[in-house]
C-alpha cells in the first residue's frame, strides 16, 4: 500500500498485521510486557483508594496505630509500582530494539539483492532514509505504541469504574470536561500527523541531497559552485526546520490546553465536593481521591493522543519499508540451476533499452568461443558498457536472447554466474578497509599467501609493500588515497583471485600510465589463456591481438574482424585508428 493511502486512515489493519508479524519471534517477551502493563494499570487506582481509606478511616477517627499500617501499605504500593514501571520500561525498550534490528537487517538484505534498474530510478538518499530513519521511527511504536495504548485504555476503564463505585454524581461532574479534551486531542492528532509527514519527507530530501553532493564533491569544487549548492541545501534545511517547528508548536499548544481542561475538572470536583462536604454527602477522603483520579484519568487520554500519532507515523514508515520488502519485481532471482561455466558467449538478436524503447542496443548478434578474446570499440554511448551489464545479468533484455554455454542467461543462478565472471571496471570502487580485505572481498577461502601470489603475478606487490602496513594498509572510502592506476591494478588482482572462466575488461587501461599499462598487459596475456575475454577498449593499441574486434555505433554493429582485417576495410575502424595514431605523434 502506498504511504499516501495509509496516511488517510487512523489505523491500517493490513500494515498492523505486518507489524505484529515482526513480534512473532519475541512473543514470550511481548506477552510479559503486556502482563506488566496490565498489572500497572490494575494498580493505578490502588494509591488514591488507599489515600481515601486512610483519610476517612484512621485520620478521621484519630486512630494513629492504624495510620502507621496504612502508610506502610501505601509505601509498598509505591515501591511495587516503581518496580513494575522499571521492568515495563526496560522490556519495552529491549523489545523495540530487537525488532528494529531485525527489520533493518531484512531491509538491507533486500536492498543488496535488488536489480540495478531499481537503483537507476531510486535516489540513494531515500534508500538510506528507509534503512535508517524509517526503521528507527518504529522504535517508539513497539516501546510506547501497541501495548502502551492498550494499557492506557485499561487504566481509563478501571479508574472510571472505581470513580463510579465511589460516587457516581461526582464522577459525572469530573468527566464533564472530557468532550473538550477529546476535541482538542483530535485537532492535535490531525495537525501533528500532517507535520510529521512533512518532517519525514524533508529528512528524505536532505539525505538524498547530501549523499549526492558528497559523492560529487570534486565536481562541485571544480566548477566552483559551492555557493549555489549551499543555497539549495539552505532551502531544504529551512523546510526541515519549519516542519519540525510546526510539530513543536502543536505540542506546545496542546499540552497546556489539556492541563487547563484537567484543572477545570479538578475545579469542578472542588466546587461540587465542597457542597457535598457541607451537606455531609461527600467525605474528605473521596474528594482527595477524586482529585488524584482526575489527574490519573486525564494523563492517559493525553498520552493516547501522542501514542496514536506515534503509531500512525510508524504505520507510514512501515508502509514504505514494506514497499521494499515486498518488491519481487525488482529482486534478482537466484533459484536457477548452478553449473560450471566453460566460457562460450552468444548474443542473438538482442534489443535493450533502459527506458521504454530508447534503444541502447539494436539487434545485436555476436559470438565469443571458449578461449577467444572479443573486443568492442566505439564512441561514448555506443552501448559497449551495456553489454557488460547484460552479461552479468544486471538487466533483463527486451528482445532476443543471451546464451552462455548454449544456456539462456535467465536460466543461470546469478550468484553462481557472477562468481565465474571477472570484471575490471574503468571506475574502480574500493571500500574502506585494508587492501587485503578489498582484494579478498569477503571470500574466506582466499588466504594471505594467495593474495601475495596474485599481486606478484600482476606486478603490484612492490608498490603495496611500500605502503604503511603493506597489505594491511587502510584504504580510505572509495580508495581516495590511491591513484587511479593503483586502484585499477588492485582490481585486477581481485579478478585474478576470483579465477574466473570469463573475463570482462571495461576500459581497464584507459586511465593509467604506460608503465602500469605494461604491467596489466603482461598479466592479461597470462589470464586470457584458455579463458574467454570480453574487452571494452578505448585505446586501440591494447586490443590488436584480439581474436575479434566489433565496432559499435549507436547500439548497432558496423564492422567486425581482426585488427588487420578492419584496417584493410578502410572504414570507421580505420578512421578511429588514424585519429588515435595521430594523437600519439
Q: Are residues 373 and 312 in the same domain?
A: no
| Range 126-155 average pLDDT | 74
- Verify that 421 and 568 share a domain, yes or no: yes
| CATH code at position 372 | 3.40.50.300
Please report, for residues 440, 539, 577, the alpha-carbon distance to residue 584 in angstroms, rounded to integers and kept in the order given: 38, 11, 11
**140 and 209 belong to one structural domain:** yes
Domain boundary (325, 353, 379) is at 325
Which is it for strands 532-536 and 359-368: parallel, antiparallel or unpaired? unpaired
Look at residue 111 and tell me whether its pLDDT is greater than 50. yes
Q: By residue range, what is the domain housing residue 20?
A: 3-325
Q: Based on the domain organization, do 12 and 74 belong to the same domain?
A: yes
For the stretch 289-334, pLDDT in tens is 888 888 777 777 777 767 776 777 777 777 777 777 777 666 666 6
Mean pLDDT of 215-223: 67
Q: Is the pLDDT of residue 9 over 70?
A: no
The Cα–Cα gap between 487 and 475 comes to 10
- Name, in order, each residue with C-beta under 8 angstroms of 310's C-beta and a sequence gap of 6 or more: 140, 141, 144, 145
pLDDT(478) > 70: no
**What global pTM score does this model have?**
0.68
Region 98-116 average pLDDT: 81
- Domain with residue 240: its CATH number is 1.20.1560.10
The predicted model gives 273-283 an average pLDDT of 76
Question: Is 332 within a domain?
Answer: no
Our count of domains for the chain comes to: 2
Alpha-carbon gap, residue 85 to 143, rounded angstroms? 13
What is the chain's mean pLDDT, rounded? 78
The residue-averaged pLDDT of 231-254 equals: 83
- Which element (helix H / strand E) includes 404? strand 399-404
Whether 101 and 244 map to the same domain: the answer is yes
pLDDT in tens, 498-549: 788 888 887 655 555 566 666 667 667 766 777 888 888 777 767 777 888 8
Q: How far apart are CA 163 and CA 44, in angstroms?
A: 12
The answer, yes or no, to whether residue 482 has pLDDT greater than 70, is yes
Q: Is pLDDT of 585 > 60?
A: no
pLDDT bin (cut points 50, 70, 90) of residue 209 is: confident
Contacts of 545 (CB under 8 A, 6+ apart): 373, 563
Q: Is residue 336 part of a domain?
A: no
Residue 288 forms part of a structural domain? yes
pLDDT grade for 21, boundaries at 50, 70 and 90 = confident
Q: Are residues 350 and 316 in the same domain?
A: no
What DSSP letter does each residue of 494-520 carry, written as one string? HHHHH--SEEEEESTTTTS-HHHHHHH
Q: Is 243 exposed, middle or buried (0-12, 13-18, 19+ CB in 10 A)?
A: buried
With respect to residue 165, please indicate whether it lies within any of the assigned structural domains.
yes
Q: Looking at the structure, do residues 54 and 199 belong to the same domain, yes or no?
A: yes
User: Among the listed ranges 26-40, 45-59, 79-93, 216-230, which one has the minimum average pLDDT value?
Assistant: 216-230
Q: Which residues contact 214 (CB under 8 A, 6 or more apart)?
A: none
Average pLDDT over residues 230-259: 82
Residue 333 domain flag: no
Q: How confident is the model at residue 6 (pLDDT cuts 50, 70, 90)?
A: very low
Does the structure show a pLDDT above 70 at 470?
yes
What cell was used for 32? 510479559
Higher pLDDT among residues 288 and 192, named by residue: 288
Taking 60 as the threshold, does the pLDDT of residue 131 lie above it?
yes
User: Is 102 found in the same domain as 74?
Assistant: yes
The sign of the dihedral angle between the CA atoms of 350, 353, 357, 359 is negative
Report DSSP state, residue 537.
Answer: -
For residue 477, what pLDDT is reported? 66
Determine contact, residues 53/8, Cβ cutoff 8 Å.
no
**Are 191 and 42 part of one and the same domain?**
yes
pLDDT attached to residue 3: 42
428 belongs to a structural domain: yes
Whether 223 maps to a domain, the answer reads: yes
pLDDT range class, residue 234, cuts 50, 70, 90? confident
Task: Decide: residue 499, CB within 10 A, 0-12 exposed, 13-18 middle, 19+ buried.
Answer: middle
CA distance 127 to 284: 61
Lowest mean pLDDT among 44-53, 97-106, 473-482: 473-482
For residue 335, the model assigns a pLDDT of 63
- Considering the domain architecture, whether residues 42 and 96 belong to the same structural domain is answered as yes
What is the pLDDT, as a whole number, of residue 447? 82
Q: Can you tell me the distance from the alpha carbon of 501 to that of 340, in angstroms, rounded to the nearest whole number?
A: 9
Residue 29 has pLDDT above 80, yes or no: yes
- Choose from 224-233, 274-283, 481-490 the range with maximum mean pLDDT: 224-233
Please check whether residue 458 is in contact with residue 422, taking contact to mean a CB–CB distance below 8 angstroms: no
- Average pLDDT of the residues in 259-265: 81
Q: Which tops the pLDDT comparison, 359 or 427?
A: 359
**Average pLDDT, stretch 278-286?**
77
Report which of 334, 192, 335, 292 is spatially closest to residue 252, judged by C-alpha positions. 192
N residues, the chain: 585
Sign of the torsion angle spanned by Cα atoms 395, 354, 223, 201: negative
Residue 5 has pLDDT above 50, yes or no: no
Residue 1 has pLDDT above 60, yes or no: no
Non-local (6+) Cβ contacts of 349 within 8 A are: 363, 364, 365, 399, 400, 401
Q: What is the DSSP letter of 382?
A: S
pLDDT given at position 256: 81
Please report whether residue 338 resides in a domain. no
DSSP 142-185: HHHTHHHHHHHHHHHHHHHHHHHHH-HHHHHHHGGGHHHHHHHH
What is the Cα–Cα distance from 49 to 241, expressed in whole angstroms? 47
**How distant, in Å, are the alpha carbons of 23, 89, 154, 305 from that of 310?**
18, 17, 19, 9
Domain match, 205 and 263 both: yes
**Single residue among 297, 325, 353 that ends a domain in this structure:** 325
What's the pLDDT at 508?
57
- For residue 4, the model assigns a pLDDT of 43
Q: Is residue 371 domain-shared with residue 284, that is, in the same domain?
A: no
399-421 confidence digits (pLDDT tens): 888 888 888 888 888 878 888 88
Last residue of a domain, one of 269, 291, 325: 325
What's the mean pLDDT in 334-355?
81
Amino acid at each position: 500500500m502506498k504511504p499516501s493511502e495509509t496516511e488517510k486512515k487512523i489505523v491500517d489493519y493490513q500494515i498492523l498485521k505486518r507489524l505484529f508479524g515482526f513480534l512473532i519471534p519475541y512473543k514470550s517477551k511481548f506477552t510479559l510486557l503486556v502482563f506488566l502493563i496490565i498489572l500497572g494499570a490494575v494498580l493505578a487506582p490502588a494509591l488514591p483508594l488507599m489515600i481515601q481509606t486512610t483519610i476517612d478511616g484512621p485520620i478521621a477517627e484519630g486512630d494513629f496505630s492504624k495510620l502507621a499500617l496504612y502508610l506502610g501499605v501505601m509505601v509498598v504500593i509505591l515501591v511495587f509500582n516503581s518496580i513494575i514501571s522499571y521492568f515495563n520500561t526496560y522490556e519495552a525498550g529491549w523489545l523495540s530494539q530487537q525488532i528494529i534490528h531485525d527489520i533493518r537487517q531484512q531491509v538491507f538484505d533486500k536492498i543488496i539483492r535488488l536489480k540495478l534498474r531499481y537503483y537507476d530510478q531510486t535516489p540513494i538518499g531515500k534508500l538510506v532514509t528507509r534503512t535508517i530513519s524509517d526503521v528507527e521511527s518504529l522504535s517508539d511504536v513497539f516501546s510506547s505504541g501497541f501495548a502502551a495504548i492498550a494499557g492506557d485504555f485499561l487504566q481509563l476503564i478501571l479508574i472510571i469504574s472505581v470513580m463510579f463505585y465511589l460516587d457516581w454524581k461526582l464522577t459525572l461532574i469530573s468527566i464533564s470536561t472530557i468532550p473538550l479534551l477529546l476535541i482538542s486531542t483530535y485537532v492535535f492528532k490531525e495537525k501533528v500527523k500532517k507535520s510529521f509527514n512533512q518532517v519525514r519527507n524533508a529528512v528524505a530530501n536532505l539525505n538524498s541531497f547530501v549523499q549526492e553532493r558528497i559523492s560529487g564533491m570534486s565536481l562541485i569544487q571544480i566548477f566552483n559552485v559551492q555557493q549555489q549548492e549551499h543555497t539549495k541545501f539552505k532551502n531544504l534545511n529551512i523546510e526541515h526546520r519549519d516542519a519540525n517547528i510546526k510539530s513543536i508548536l502543536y505540542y506546545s499548544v496542546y499540552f497546556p490546553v489539556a492541563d487547563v481542561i484537567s484543572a477545570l475538572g479538578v475545579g469542578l470536583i472542588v466546587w461540587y465536593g465542597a457542597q457535598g462536604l457541607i451537606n455531609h454527602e461527600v467525605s474528605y477522603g473521596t474528594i482527595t481521591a477524586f482529585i488524584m483520579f482526575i489527574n490519573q484519568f486525564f494523563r492517559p487520554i493525553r498520552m493516547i493522543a501522542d501514542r496514536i500519532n506515534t503509531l500512525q507515523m510508524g504505520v507510514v514508515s512501515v508502509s514504505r519499508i514494506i514497499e521494499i520488502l515486498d518488491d519481487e519485481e525488482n529482486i534478482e532471482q537466484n533459484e536457477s540451476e548452478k553449473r560450471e561455466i566453460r566460457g562460450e558467449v552468444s548474443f542473438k538478436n538482442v534489443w535493450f533499452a533502459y527506458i521504454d524503447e530508447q534503444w541502447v542496443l539494436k539487434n545485436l548478434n555476436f559470438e565469443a568461443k571458449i578461449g577467444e578474446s572479443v573486443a568492442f570499440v566505439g564512441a561514448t554511448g555506443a552501448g559497449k558498457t551495456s553489454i557488460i551489464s547484460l552479461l552479468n545479468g544486471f538487466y533483463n533484455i527486451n528482445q532476443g536472447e543471451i546464451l552462455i554455454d548454449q544456456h539462456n542467461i535467465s536460466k543461470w543462478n546469478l550468484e553462481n554466474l557472477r562468481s565465474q565472471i571477472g570484471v575490471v571496471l574503468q571506475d574502480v570502487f574500493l571500500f574502506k578497509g585494508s587492501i587485503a580485505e578489498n582484494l579478498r572481498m569477503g571470500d574466506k577461502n582466499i588466504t594471505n599467501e594467495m593474495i601475495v601470489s596474485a599481486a606478484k603475478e600482476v606486478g603490484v606487490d612492490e608498490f603495496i609493500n611500500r605502503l604503511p602496513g603493506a597489505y594491511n594498509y587502510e584504504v580510505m572510502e572509495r580508495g581516495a588515497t590511491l591513484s587511479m592506476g593503483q586502484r585499477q591494478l588492485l582490481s585486477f588482482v581481485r579478478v585474478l583471485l576470483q579465477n574466473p572462466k570469463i573475463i570482462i575488461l571495461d576500459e581497464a587501461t584507459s586511465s593509467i600510465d604506460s608503465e602500469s599499462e605494461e604491467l596489466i598487459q603482461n598479466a592479461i596475456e597470462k589470464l586470457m589463456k584458455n579463458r574467454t575475454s570480453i574487452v571494452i577498449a578505448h585505446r586501440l593499441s591494447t586490443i590488436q591481438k584480439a581474436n575479434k574486434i566489433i565496432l559499435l555505433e549507436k547500439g548497432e554493429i558496423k564492422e567486425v574482424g581482426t585488427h588487420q582485417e578492419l584496417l584493410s576495410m578502410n572504414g570507421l575502424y580505420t578512421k578511429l585508428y588514424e585519429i588515435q595514431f595521430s594523437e600519439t605523434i
